[in-house]
Structure 1
Amino acid sequence: MFVVARDRGYIVHSNHEAGVGRYDVKIVPKSGVGEMAIIIEFKIVRNNKSLTEAVHEVLCQIEEKQYRAGLQDEVKRLLEIGIAFKGKEACVVGHLLNRTENREWIKSLQ
């Protein structure tokens, strides 16, 4: 997936600082390529927490740690994806955000 993104004009960053933390993966378009970016955060669950609970915590972490900070103005849509693993099970949840003219992010209703 990451190789295909790179071949289509996107830059793939891994474990870089953004906001007040380090995201796992951020995929951003090169100038003139597109308007969508993707942030992916992974979590391994080692306790009695459910996968669903863990994956929603990951999505909250993206917002709380401000991983959206520093996205270029050209980025108008952002897909945030949380992936939680527990043994051989996995849960993936994401949401699409749109950037307003005031540079605020709002969840898409799609």
Structure 2
Amino acid sequence: MSRQVQINKIVGRLVAKKREAVSLTQEDVAGRLNLNTESYGRIERGVTPLTVSRLVKLATLFQCGIDELVLETSTGLTGQAQYIANMLDGVSSSDRDEIVKIVEKICALSHKKHLKSIKPY
């Protein structure tokens, strides 16, 4: 499978996931993109690549960033940090401060637990 086909499949899967998350059907989205349902389904299956124009329309329709439609969530630290940042989008500054304090406490507990499991020399 070529790299382009792999990318199309990943993007299609992410688009489908986001569409489902906002409770829209393929028919709903196809209509808003002026496509028939079969053509839109090919995008979600990765058979047809997305144009930049349609990608922008989908991001607007799903009320998300374009990055959420083209980047898989990574298990790496950077990807996880971006995932958390996306979740905090729209949360007030004071609430974010409280969330940071809670995360700091959880991390401190986790580090203590980890340190206890390490055997001294």
**What interval of TM-score do these two structures reach, taking the shorter chain for normalisation?**
under 0.3
Q: TM-score, normalised by structure 2?
A: 0.21
- Structure holding more helix per residue: 2
Which structure has the greater CA radius of gyration?
A: 2
- Structure holding more strand per residue: 1
